[in-house]
Structure 1
Amino acid sequence: MVRANGAVSLRELARVVQTSEVTVRRDVRALEAEGLLDRRHGGAVLPGGFTRESGFPQKAHLATAEKTAIADLAAGLVEEGEAVVVGAGTTTQELARRLARVPGLTVVTNSLLVAQALAHANRVEVVMTGGTLRGSNYALVGSGAEQSLQGLRVSRAFLSGSGLTAERGLSTSNMLSASVDRALVQAAAEVVVLADHTKLGVDTMFQTVPPEAITRLVTDEPPPHEERAAAELRALADQGVRIEVASTGGGPAGAVPAGPLGAVGGPAGTAGPEAGGAAGGPGRPPRRDVPLPGQRGRHPQGAPQGIQGGGSGGAQLRAAVPATSGEGSPAGRVADLAPRRY
């Protein structure tokens, strides 16, 4: 199944072979030890970084909780009346569902899935590129897509990909997709990469965004045993990438202590009941600092320590716990934070 599809979820494997996910997980671990596949969060993929791109059905079932949290946090970066570009992918599709609530927004995209998510948003204008349809990820690619982006200028580009490293930046396994993503980057003043921790440290064939062109990374907190992902985050922060870490804990937002900046508005989500913000009004969750493995904790005076690296310290990592208002509407916005050094 992995050879046929490029990736497969543990849930789907358990259903097909009619056994428990615990048994499947044990067998996948044994197959990884033999070099036949690589484990990923909630599934398995072909071994090695330079593999062909998985199709949408396989990607949709991998790291779903992480993608939801990342989309919640990224949506808070978008202001009313902005013009943005949103690339193809399952994480960007989740983002588009949340952008449907932002009034006066203009979204340029080459993704049919992103356009579909925004189709019934009466206050959002959707602009589609031209191009040839790639059925595996429902994206428009080719010279038609690239030419339609010439002369375009927007505030931000939201992109995902197959892998992200500090050395090469964002990459993908398909040449046509990479070419369109590069055109999307050229149209934006800032580039925001959406990548869950399973993509950190993964290097695939075609570079789409070099690390120096990435303005901000929105990701989730790597598990303690994912040392490679944590190391990539530190390296990216040392290169000046602003890193936002979304919480996937699912607990009440009010249970997280506020950081030194106090309660800052965050995007809508599904992680617990309504949280009252000290300064942002009802539904605005506090933010917290998430130390990565090897990173020092909070300063005694309450100011967070930067990621330790070259120079005088790396860019500060921040996490926001999503929360919803009583009506399920956006509960506020995440402040646009510049790197802070101590």
Structure 2
Amino acid sequence: MFAAERRQLILEMVRANGAVSLRELARVVQTSEVTVRRDVRALEAEGLLDRRHGGAVLPGGFTRESGFPQKSHLATAEKTAIADLAAGLVEEGEAVVVGAGTTTQELARRLARVPGLTVVTNSLLVAQALAHANRVEVVMTGGTLRGSNYALVGSGAEQSLQGLRVSRAFLSGSGLTAERGLSTSNMLSASVDRALVQAAAEVVVLADHSKLGTDTMFQTVPTDVITRLVTNEPLTRDERSATELQALADQGVQIAIAGVGQPAPAPGQGQGTGPGVGPGRTDGGPTVGRPARRDTPLPGPRRTHPPTAPGGPGLRGPVSLSDQQLGGRVADLAPRRR
């Protein structure tokens, strides 16, 4: 197949699906991922598509939302690492809300091991991941099924969240910028995500580095409402992601960076007050190559959150977490002095 034919086929696949992984592109055009990456780079230079880590998407963040089958093949290692790190934030007996998305689905698989947990969700995939967890109670919203991401949306979903109060919300989205916060391409999904946020004392955003600096049509969570961002290490040459991370830190978002390929922390023990054990250690000592830290706050100014209901089941206020307790590392970012 000539390069022009190969690139035309790549372009047709992206237009048909919204987003396609490099692996899938290479399989269809019957060439190597190196060659496909070169083709994608050339098509991006012509403005015909946008590159993302591990794949290609339609150009511009305000056009079309890719469906679950496409999203599930993008940045899989990063999503796994992010989910591993985020699971360390959840304690036994806590009550949380988990929004729809491929990254939150990965988180749900890990939360299945946290005893006494109550999870409220509008995602069928999140509920399915927790369906066989013996000691986890799953509460689903009402609403209308949106087939592209297997989520319940609409007024039924939003009304079922009224009067709910939990310790924290875990959300993903299509893009994250310091200027607008978390956003998505679908109006109905954005509206339900906003309702999920209203139910939580603090908001944790799960977003791999490819979403940093990407702005989509509908804002879901303004930056000043985001408590923490759990992400992965940006690529060395990815200046946009690094710049966006610093801008988010400047606005008070606490940032934790997951190391891809690191051992997963034990879910249900993320808020202990002991020294913790870093990845690769079993003796309670410091993580190799990094000085020991104890109760080190995540960077960014501490925010004041609405008080949790006194004596409410599973409700706990924000606490300081060490990088060792989280099982990843705390970003070396602090707000710039103004």
Whether these two folds match at TM > 0.5 is yes
Match of residue 270 from structure 2: none
Match of residue 181 from structure 1: 193
What is the correspondence of 1:159-178 to structure 2 with a 5 Å cutoff? 159-178=171-190
Q: 1:249 to 1:101 in 2, by over 3 A?
A: closer
What is the correspondence of 1:217-236 to structure 2 with a 5 Å cutoff? 217-236=229-248
Match of residue 238 from structure 1: 250
- Quote the offset at 1:48 in angstroms: 1.1
Q: 1:307 to 1:24 in 2, by over 3 A?
A: same
What is the correspondence of 1:1-342 to structure 2 with a 5 Å cutoff? 1-250=13-262, 264-265=276-277, 275-278=281-284, 286=287
The CA distance in 2 between the partners of 1:237 and 1:119, in whole Å, is: 36
8 Å CA contact retained: 2:158, 2:192: yes
Q: Secondary structure at the match of 2:107?
A: helix
- Quote the offset at 1:50 in angstroms: 1.0
* CA deviation profile, 1:294-335 (whole Å, cap 9, x unmatched): xxxx9xxxxx9x989xxxxxxx99866xxxxxxxxxxx7569
The CA distance in 2 between the partners of 1:56 and 1:69, in whole Å, is: 19
Q: Secondary structure at the match of 1:39?
A: strand
8 Å CA contact retained: 1:160, 1:193: yes
Q: Secondary structure at the match of 2:41?
A: helix
8 Å CA contact retained: 1:252, 1:275: no
The CA distance in 2 between the partners of 1:317 and 1:33, in whole Å, is: 43
Q: Secondary structure at the match of 1:49?
A: coil
8 Å CA contact retained: 2:190, 2:218: yes
The CA distance in 2 between the partners of 1:232 and 1:318, in whole Å, is: 23
The CA distance in 1 between the partners of 2:263 and 2:86, in whole Å, is: 19
Q: 1:215 to 1:37 in 2, by over 3 A?
A: same
Q: 1:149 to 1:193 in 2, by over 3 A?
A: same
Q: Secondary structure at the match of 2:205?
A: strand
TM-score by length of 2: 0.79
8 Å CA contact retained: 2:183, 2:221: yes
- Quote the offset at 1:141 in angstroms: 0.2
Q: Secondary structure at the match of 1:225?
A: coil
Counterpart amino acid of residue 225 in structure 1? R
The CA distance in 1 between the partners of 2:223 and 2:90, in whole Å, is: 22
Aligned residues: 295
The CA distance in 2 between the partners of 1:287 and 1:149, in whole Å, is: 44
- Quote the offset at 1:178 in angstroms: 0.1
* CA deviation profile, 1:247-279 (whole Å, cap 9, x unmatched): 1154899xxxxxxx995347xxxxx8x531426
The CA distance in 1 between the partners of 2:112 and 2:14, in whole Å, is: 35
The CA distance in 1 between the partners of 2:235 and 2:70, in whole Å, is: 22
The CA distance in 2 between the partners of 1:228 and 1:21, in whole Å, is: 24
* CA deviation profile, 1:79-111 (whole Å, cap 9, x unmatched): 000000000000000000000000000000000
Q: Secondary structure at the match of 1:157?
A: strand
Q: Secondary structure at the match of 1:44?
A: strand
The CA distance in 2 between the partners of 1:163 and 1:221, in whole Å, is: 16
Q: Secondary structure at the match of 2:255?
A: strand
Q: Which has the higher contact order (CA 8 A, sep 6+)?
A: 2
The CA distance in 1 between the partners of 2:288 and 2:141, in whole Å, is: 37
Give the stretch that moved more between structures: 14-23 or 82-91: 14-23
- Quote the offset at 1:286 in angstroms: 3.2
Aligned-residue CA RMSD in angstroms? Answer: 3.3
The CA distance in 1 between the partners of 2:251 and 2:213, in whole Å, is: 15
8 Å CA contact retained: 1:243, 1:318: no
The CA distance in 1 between the partners of 2:39 and 2:31, in whole Å, is: 11
The CA distance in 2 between the partners of 1:333 and 1:307, in whole Å, is: 14
Counterpart amino acid of residue 80 in structure 2? T
Q: Secondary structure at the match of 2:137?
A: strand
Q: Secondary structure at the match of 1:77?
A: coil
Q: 1:51 to 1:334 in 2, by over 3 A?
A: same
8 Å CA contact retained: 1:102, 1:124: yes
Q: Secondary structure at the match of 1:276?
A: coil
The CA distance in 1 between the partners of 2:109 and 2:43, in whole Å, is: 37
Unaligned runs of 5+ in 2: 1-12, 266-272, 301-319
Counterpart amino acid of residue 174 in structure 1? N
